[in-house]
Structure 1
Amino acid sequence: MAVAGRTAATRCSACGCSNTALMAAVVVAVMVLSLALVSLAGGHGGGPGEPRLRRSRRPPSAGEGPRGCCGCREATVAAERELEPPVVLFNFGDSNSDTGGVAAAGGIRIMPPEGRTYFQQPTGRLSDGRVIIDFICESLNTHELNPYLKSLVQTTAMASTSLWPALQCHTVSLPTSLNVQVDQFVYFKHRSLELFGRGLKGPVNKEGFENALYMMDIGHNDVAGVMHTPSDKWDKKLREIVGEIKDAIRILHDNGARKFWIHGTGALGCLPALVVQEKGEHDAHGCLAKYNRAAQEFNKRLSDLCDEMRLHVKNATIVYTDMFAIKYDFVANHTNTV
């Protein structure tokens, strides 16, 4: 079965502290990613002149710059950053990390109060504030992601004049199945490299694709959907969902992807929409136990898949992040995070 990209707009935990919990969860997740990238930078590629994900540089110490030059340190750091290659991040996901792909693909005009808590206007996100990918881009000191379809429209419209926008991040965030998102990415890559081959300036060059970070945050709807099938079908359904992700990683790797960041699903049984609409056993924190067990089983299989893929895909780094533990902790300890 395809891993669906559509999901409900629910973003908060059972305690209602959505933005606080999300921000803290992202901080923890980004710390995990940062450690992985530090290790990666030291052990894979990165020869002279080879673009990498941006890393912070040590500012000049006192006395290194010209004497008597006010602001020289800041100017030097700024100049170094200008010379660094852009951060390239491809996101394959659902509404948990969608920055407007649903609206772009369907021509949907999402009205207020969407966007009210941060952007002060509708942005196409299925949230009233920022989503996880926004915090990741902020931690990398780059702009918010543009929805993939908007990027395609921009690049197609501007290719003939070579007036390409200085896009530092790109997202594959479509309201479609994961395999379609991967197909769209492959097309995007081939189109971009074709333009470079014709002497035009594309949004991402060959080195950019090779050094990009490929993030997957998907499967939430599918796992929730499993709960509406006969229990004797659950094992087969979960295997199919994980199999779709395995195929996506393989295809991306065949197309040059080398740095993967895979997110497990959160505590689905704690989503307010499910807690209100669904019946069943509740745990000590008011979450639907059945849904959380399914989420944990899916995450275990996804983690095992990442272990397996590390053995079989060459010259690649695959980082798995347990989002369930992060998000469930905010529900269990919500009085400490509000």
Structure 2
Amino acid sequence: MALAVGSAAVVFFILVFTPSPSPTTADSIFRCYNSIVSFGDSLADTGNILVPSLQRSPCVAVNPPYGRTFFHRPTGRYSDGRLVIDFIAQSMGLPLLKPYVPEANADAAQRRRSFSTGVNFAVSGASALSYEFYEKIGCQNPLTNASLGTQLKWFRTFLAGLPDSRRYLERSLVVMGEIGGNDYNHLLLQGRTLDELQILVPMVVSYIGSTIQELIELGVVTMLVPGNLPIGCLPVCLTRYEKSSTAKDYDRHGCLISLNEFAEYHNHLLLQELQRIRELYPHVNIMYADYYNAAMRMYQSPKQFGFGNRILSSCCGGGGVYNFNESARCGVPQATCCDDPSKYISWDGMHLTEAAYRLIAQAVIQGTYTNPPFSNICLGSISKTRGISDY
């Protein structure tokens, strides 16, 4: 059973202020950046959703088996272990990013001590467009009232407490997302059509772009902007459309073609927006992280990457063709969990396993699915010392 809000607050305090694993000295020598600043949703949230005031419903990520693979306890991450942002931090010789915890970080001196090497504003369930916008069009965010705008507001407050925010940002890698997926997911799962969502995409991308520009004006000079995942391969979507789809709606891997094409449409517009911003700010390094194709290769060649034969099923879930049941999600007593999450791409039907996130992180950091790629000089040194595969 999900914890009550009061219990969640206690768990949150324990988890956030428990020291995270530290990188080795060898890694620290080859730091590309002094710190990482993260925005986004559940693909990047390392614990902000545990703040009771941000929850619109109990957070299942405070319950086992979440966190079982690496942390051996729930941490608020919607996975069995680490996320892409965790692997990025570790590969650069930085500690895992702490969640921002708005209520617990009013003191400026504490912020400087706690977040000198990185800070994470991402909130699980967050959308790019505001909570109020979706209320007006009759859509409820079931998880949180936080959005990208909320995170930007926190960021401004955070910067105001730093003695030299410009210098901090000049030596920081800012990771913008993934963000935008929930703008579509919440609507899809509440019965809206792809045609209705199609109209929304330019608005979502434009808002992401305007936020990036605000960050640049504040002093950000290096940014990584991920695109959306292939949502047509997620058990939650496959289950949602299972009864209304026919064989022609699926690709040869079993993913829904229309949903993946929609994700690619978002990514196409995002790439155009990033190019527009690059031309306005030629001094800023903006990298696009192709999460879509980095993930898609796992569905196309699962055995090559060590996955089993249930690539479209959840490791943790409540049954059904894809082991996803809306009324028995991972983290509640009715759900069961597989023995080896590393053989699965999907952890709980909506989020990926640590094994899948590791592969995406590798692809992004090595530059194969990043345009332009990370500096070969900087990250080349890391890979020679202790690569991401060693974590």
- Which category of TM-score, normalised to the shorter sequence, fits these structures? 0.5 to 0.7
State the partner residue of 1:206. Answer: 166
CA 168–294 in structure 1, closer or farther in 2 if over 3 Å, else same: same
CA 312–163 in structure 1, closer or farther in 2 if over 3 Å, else same: closer
State the partner residue of 1:140. Answer: 92
State the partner residue of 1:308. Answer: 276
The CA deviation at 1:231 is 4.8
Unaligned runs of 5+ in 1: 1-73, 197-203
Maintained 8 Å contact 2:229/2:291: yes
Q: Which has the higher contact order (CA 8 A, sep 6+)?
A: 1
State the partner residue of 1:87. Answer: 34
> Which residue among 234, 237, 261 is the counterpart of 2:224?
261
d(CA) in 1 for partners of 2:112, 2:232: 47
d(CA) in 2 for partners of 1:163, 1:211: 15
What amino acid sits opposite 1:268 in the alignment? I
State the partner residue of 1:322. Answer: 290
The CA deviation at 1:153 is 2.0
2:91 counterpart of 1:130: no
CA 95–166 in structure 1, closer or farther in 2 if over 3 Å, else same: closer
d(CA) in 1 for partners of 2:250, 2:183: 21
| Deviation sequence 1:111-137 (CA, Å, 0-9, x none) | 211111110111111111111111101
d(CA) in 1 for partners of 2:193, 2:281: 35
After TM superposition, list the pairs within 5 Å mapping 1:160-309 onto structure 2.
164-165=113-114, 167-174=116-123, 175=126, 176-192=146-162, 196=163, 205-216=165-176, 217-225=178-186, 227=188, 228-279=191-242, 280=245, 281-309=249-277
Maintained 8 Å contact 2:33/2:92: no
CA 145–155 in structure 1, closer or farther in 2 if over 3 Å, else same: farther
TM-score by length of 1: 0.66
State the partner residue of 1:9. Answer: none
d(CA) in 1 for partners of 2:270, 2:291: 12
| Deviation sequence 1:128-163 (CA, Å, 0-9, x none) | 11111111011011111100116x72562865xx99
d(CA) in 2 for partners of 1:291, 1:222: 14
Unaligned runs of 5+ in 2: 1-23, 127-145, 307-391
2:47 counterpart of 1:100: yes
Give the match's secondary structure for 2:34: coil
CA 106–224 in structure 1, closer or farther in 2 if over 3 Å, else same: closer
The CA deviation at 1:224 is 3.2
Maintained 8 Å contact 2:227/2:288: yes
CA 163–297 in structure 1, closer or farther in 2 if over 3 Å, else same: closer
Over the residues paired in the alignment, what is the CA RMSD in angstroms?
2.8
The CA deviation at 1:312 is 1.0
| Percent of aligned pairs with the same amino acid | 27
State the partner residue of 1:156. Answer: 107
Q: How many residues align?
A: 249
d(CA) in 1 for partners of 2:224, 2:108: 31
What amino acid sits opposite 1:136 in the alignment? I
CA 166–95 in structure 1, closer or farther in 2 if over 3 Å, else same: closer
d(CA) in 1 for partners of 2:99, 2:45: 8
d(CA) in 2 for partners of 1:238, 1:321: 18
CA 91–157 in structure 1, closer or farther in 2 if over 3 Å, else same: closer
d(CA) in 2 for partners of 1:265, 1:189: 28
d(CA) in 2 for partners of 1:138, 1:81: 13
Q: Which has the larger radius of gyration?
A: 1
| Deviation sequence 1:271-318 (CA, Å, 0-9, x none) | 112112223322111111111010000001111111111001252111
What amino acid sits opposite 1:302 in the alignment? L
Maintained 8 Å contact 1:99/1:123: yes
State the partner residue of 2:69. Answer: 117
Give the match's secondary structure for 1:173: coil
TM-score by length of 2: 0.58
| Deviation sequence 1:191-217 (CA, Å, 0-9, x none) | 22xxx3xxxxxxx75311222111111
What amino acid sits opposite 1:273 in the alignment? V
